[in-house]
A and B are shown apart, each in its own frame.
Chain A
Amino acid sequence: MSRINPKFGKELKKYGATEFNSCYNCGTCTAVCSLSTGDDSFPRSMVRLSETGNEEDISASLKPWLCYYCGECSSNCPQTANPGELMMSLRRWLTAKYDWTGLSGLMYKSLPATIVAMVLIFAGVIGYAASEGFDAEKVMHIGHYFEMFAIAGVFGVILLPNLFRMWYFVIFKPSRKKTAGKAESETEYSSRLTNLLGGIPLRVYLTSLSDFFLHMFTQKRALGCDDNQKRWFEHFILVIGYLTLLFTTVFLDWFSSENMFVIILGYLVSAIVFIVTFDFVTGRIKKNKEVSKHSRPSDWFFVIWLFLMGVTAFLVRLFIDFNIIESNFWLYLFHLTILAQWALIIVPFGKWTHFLYRSFAMYFDKLQKSAAK
């Protein structure tokens, strides 16, 4: 049994879902959603959980991550309850819920907080550069190391614990609820380890890994949405482009590289990143599709910073090739600021995390379904 908690709805409004209250449970949204299935039926069920404020079931649910925001449900809702945006808001809320630092929630809900954080990082970058006397070579050298450490640090301190929390809410806690009151020997789980792993045998964890990587790199599921081929393709090459750019700059040290292949690869992938994100940004400005109609600050920061990262990286390398970077050192500082803000704010606490959570959601979903069999 769960007690209705009307405060949850009010909280969720701060994450962007403002209209879901007018839902009258007709189920049209679920009927038109091409990703909803008999076992995983949504978004109406999630609208309902939100309306009744069932935080526990929402925290344990993977459904928000199974939605790829095609917007069909919102276009067809007779009450204009905007279930698609509700699913988006639940993803934001879940991101905040998984985040042990609480900073995700703070930034999702408060634009000023995000701006303050951005300004602080900007000041930090400029301050550091000033302390080095704006020595281009030195700053660029450190900048490169910064990128490496930032990635490792953010991953180890923030993202990994958060993924663990996600696992805890989705897999472990519900399994404990099921076995509550039973002695270990009475549970249906075959071994102590399985019990510790939330009722799912280790074997299943391993055999399901292929699914995890498949979804992480292809977002294959998004193709299930109607008329979504273009958007899926753009998103696909953006992910590949972004990951390759990351690899090229961090591990192949693109900015200092002499290798022709690396240089051209860097140009190519940074161009992909800014061209695709340019299209995304204009889409959000034009609001011509359901998915781009309701942009929150977190959405804007994500696409704009990605765009700026692509552009500035491209220009920095171009300036290096034309040998004018030292006289235009501001460009590198701009790039570094964007990079630092991206790595320290947007990646750990912003929309970037959806890349991880979506992939893990598919993985956990697979785990649950395999274990149920």
Chain B
Amino acid sequence: MKKKLGIYICACGGNISDYVDIEKVKDAVKDEDCVILAKTTMFACGDSNQKDMDADIKANDLSGIVVASCSPKLHLTTFRAVSERAGLNKYNYVHANIREQASWAHSDNKTGATEKAILLVRAAIAKARLAESLEPIVIKSRRSVAVIGAGVAGLKAAISLSRMQDEVFLIERENRIGGNLANLDTISPENISGKELLIRLEEDLKKEKNITLLTNSEVVGNSGNIGDFTLTLKISGSEGSTTKDIKVGSVLVATGFNSYIPADGEFGFNQIANVITLPQFRDILRNADSKKFVFNGKVINSVAYIYCVGSRQVKGENKYCSRYCCTAAVQASLDLKKKYPDIQNYHFTKGVRTYGKQELIYKESNSAGDIYIQFLDKKPPIVTELDGAISIKAGDLLSEKKEIEALADLVVLVTGMVPDKDTSIGSLFKLPKGRDKFFNEIHMKLRPVETVIDGITIAGTCQGPKNVMESVNSALSAAAKSHSFVSKGELELEPIVAYADKSSCNWCNACSDACPFNAISKIEAEGKEVASINKSTCKGCGMCLPVCPTDSIELISFTNKEMESMIDVLAQ
């Protein structure tokens, strides 16, 4: 049956019509084959036009529409929704971008802009003639989630998922849960220790019936896709290790961070006695005698803290700020002073970042007489031994950049966060990483816990430095997201995917190499090896199409026929 098309050409309030003669565009396309009606409108996305479109589709029984307006990035979903409201399958709507591609790009040439707009609309009409109705791909989804890593992020996520009645496998590499939290003393803000917090979480965990906790366990295999992953676990026990498969609908990764370990000689580390890292300092302080602070046989009367070690590096790779460490160092220095009031603290910072409520402890420390020195990026402090003490010298931005020296008995390197040294999870799930080598979300602001791999979410510090509160925030939001993948029992996926023609394909691996999402695998069919594309994993990106030597791959909704018909128009 012949298509009945409606065409809408938008003025974008002048953004388009100032350069493109939209009436001329309308006149040029109104008599095209299949076109029943063509209209111009001031704002295609406006409510009144949306209502008009709805009425037009119904009144004329349209089987396709073309909207010529701004970039589809802006309003694709708007017009898809209009189509669906009017009872038209949304894949029968085709978009032409005559703002970014015509009016804005050629504002110096109105005639040319108009001609280009006409061609773009004609090409869209050509595609619309061939467009087919599509239905979303519906796949079954298991009501279970694997949470990898049982730090504070993993624990909170698991508890939250369990409370939403999902089955949870909480997988922890170590023999105990809690991750880095277990070693924390006072966590700022609020005066609570990591251990206390962990006890609370453990109690919560015990109450949850839907959680299977697997310690000493690592994920060694992964197959399947969103809704139906199969993970192979290696569980070590006293009698060697066993493997076990679990099936889940979604995976929540919360593998956390490691503390940066300074290189030998970095600020005297491992070369000068009494130069230690913040985590080491925490351990020592916890176990120290209550009357005198003695370390390495030396009574400690003054402590210097050097901030941003392994973070905000000017020369090194870690350009990021680790967020937690200013607060953690100030808190540690306050705890030290509480225990030994006469100790003098010196803080060598790059500018203190105790943001939010944490500012209060900075003020407390300042008022208590701690001295803050702000060193210059280009001139980090120089640490040397001097008469049985340690000298720390730096240019002080706050003292007109003059060089200033502190003598201390102990130097604490305030080390930042780096990604977990075990990178197996990243490679196993093909999780993309940022320049900072932490796992990357899809969009930092708008989709902060999803990854480009469908069904896999990230939470806590495996994504980048966070404090406890931020780790928990992201854990709860990742849990909600993972829950949304599995809660309905089935999932609707975009039907725009690629498929390979088994008869012409002679497995050559080119498409599989090109596919960024690992969607193509080799199967046996018709007595030979051919490519098979997993439609649940395929994202319809099109990378596999041009590399195929036998032209065996088609992308639904962007078929060769459709594309060629458009090119024919444009090339006229």
Instruction: List A residues at the B interface (Cβ < 8 Å).
Output: 1-4, 6, 9-10, 19, 21-25, 45, 48-49, 51-52, 54, 79
User: What does the 1/0 interface line of B468-484 toward A look like (CB < 8 Å)?
Assistant: 00000000000000000
Once the chains bind, are B405 and A1 in contact (CB under 8 Å)?
A: yes
Given contacts A1-B405, A3-B406, A4-B406, contact A48 B398 (CB under 8 A): yes
A107-B363 Cα distance, complex, nearest whole Å: 32
Cβ of B377 to closest chain A Cβ, rounded Å = 17
A1–B407 CA distance with the chains assembled, in angstroms: 13
A279 to B210, CA, bound (A): 79
Contacts of B367 in A (CB 8 A): 19, 21-22
- The B contact surface, by secondary structure, is strand
Q: How far is the CA of A51 from the CA of B407 in the complex (A)?
A: 15
Beta-carbon nearest neighbor of A4 in chain B: B406
In whole Å, how far is A345's beta carbon from the nearest beta carbon of chain B? 33
What residues of B have a CB within 8 angstroms of the CB of A19 in the complex? 367
Contact present for A2 and B402 (CB under 8 Å): yes
Give 17 pairs: A residue, B residue, CB < 8 Å, sorted on A. Answer: A1-B403, A2-B402, A3-B407, A4-B404, A6-B371, A21-B369, A22-B366, A23-B366, A24-B352, A24-B362, A24-B363, A25-B372, A25-B374, A48-B398, A48-B399, A52-B373, A79-B363
* B106, CB-defined interface residue at 8 Å: no
Closest residue of chain A to B368 (Cβ to Cβ) is A21
Interface presence of B353 (CB below 8 A): no
List of A residues within 8 angstroms of B344 by Cβ = 6
Cα–Cα, bound, A45→B402 (Å): 12
Which 4 A/B pairs are nearest by Cβ-Cβ distance?
Answer: A22-B367, A1-B403, A4-B406, A3-B405
B371 and A52: CB pair below 8 A?
Answer: yes
Near A by CB (< 8 A), chain B positions 372-409 give 372-374, 393, 396, 398-400, 402-407
Q: Flag if A2 contacts B405 (CB, 8 Å).
A: yes
Contacts of B402 in A (CB 8 A): 1-2
Given A1, A9, A22, A25, which contacts B398 in the complex, CB threshold below 8 Å?
Answer: A25
Q: Separation in Å of the A42 CB from the closest CB of chain B?
A: 12
Chain A's nearest CB lies how many Å from the CB of B11? 51
Q: Give the distance to chain B from A313, nearest Cβ to Cβ, in Å.
A: 46
Is B346 engaged at the interface, CB distance under 8 Å to the other chain? yes
| A4 & B369 in contact (Cβ 8 Å cutoff) | no
Q: Is A1 a contact of B404 with CB atoms below 8 Å?
A: yes
Interface string of B326-360 (1 = CB under 8 A from A): 00000000000000000010100000100000000
Distance (whole angstroms) from the CB of A85 to the closest CB of chain B: 15
The reply to whether B400 and A45 form a contact with Cβ atoms under 8 Å apart is yes
The number of inter-chain residue pairs (CB within 8 angstroms) is 55
For B396, the chain A residues whose CB sits under 8 A away are: 52
- B409 to chain A minimum Cβ distance, whole angstroms, is 13
Closest to A1 in B: B403
Q: Which of the residues A3, A6, A21 comes within 8 Å of B366, measured between beta carbons? A: A21
Chain A residues lying within 8 Å of B406, measured Cβ to Cβ, are: 3-4
Cα–Cα, bound, A1→B368 (Å) = 25
Chain B residue with minimal CB distance to A10? B369
Give A225 to B372 CA distance when docked, in angstroms: 31
* Residues in A whose Cβ lies below 8 Å from that of B393: 1
Chain B residues with Cβ below 8 Å from A23 are: 366
Interface-central residue, B362, B363, B398, B406, by most chain A CB under 10 Å = B398
Q: B373: which A residues are within 8 A, CB to CB?
A: 4, 52
Q: Are B363 and A51 in contact (CB under 8 A)?
A: no
Contacts of A21 in B (CB 8 A): 366-369
Q: Which residues of A contact B352 (CB under 8 A)?
A: 24
Q: Across the interface, do B368 and A49 meet the contact criterion of CB distance under 8 Å?
A: no
Contact of A4 with B403 at beta-carbon distance under 8 Å, contacts A22-B366, A23-B366, A48-B398 already known: no
Cα-based distance from A52 to B398 in the complex (angstroms):
10
Tell me the complex Cα distance, A130–B404, Å: 61
A2-B404, A4-B404, A24-B362 given; A52·B369 CB < 8 A: no
* Complex-state Cα separation, A49 to B396, whole angstroms: 11
Residue ID in chain B nearest A49 by CB atoms: B399
Residues of A contacting B405 in the complex (Cβ-Cβ under 8 angstroms): 1-4
Chain B, residue nearest A22 (CB) = B367
Chain A: which residue is nearest B374 at the CB level? A25
Question: Closest Cβ of chain B: how far from A30's Cβ, in Å?
Answer: 12
Chain A, residue nearest B396 (CB):
A52
Q: Which residues of A are found within 8 Å of B398, using beta-carbon distances? A: 25, 48
A54 to B363, CA, bound (A): 22
Q: Which of A3, A49, A52 has the most CB of B within 10 A?
A: A52
Chain A residue at smallest Cβ distance from B403: A1
How distant is A143 from chain B, measured CB to nearest CB, in Å? 50
User: Is there an interface contact between B369 and A6, defined as CB atoms closer than 8 Å?
Assistant: yes
Complex: how many Å from CA A48 to CA B407? 18
The CA-CA distance from A52 to B393 in the complex, in Å, is: 13
Q: Closest CB of chain A to B29's CB: distance in Å?
A: 63
Measured CB to CB, the closest approach of chain B to A45, in angstroms, equals 7
What are the residues of chain A within 8 A of B362 when measuring CB–CB? Answer: 24
- How far apart are B391's CB and chain A's nearest CB, in angstroms? 8
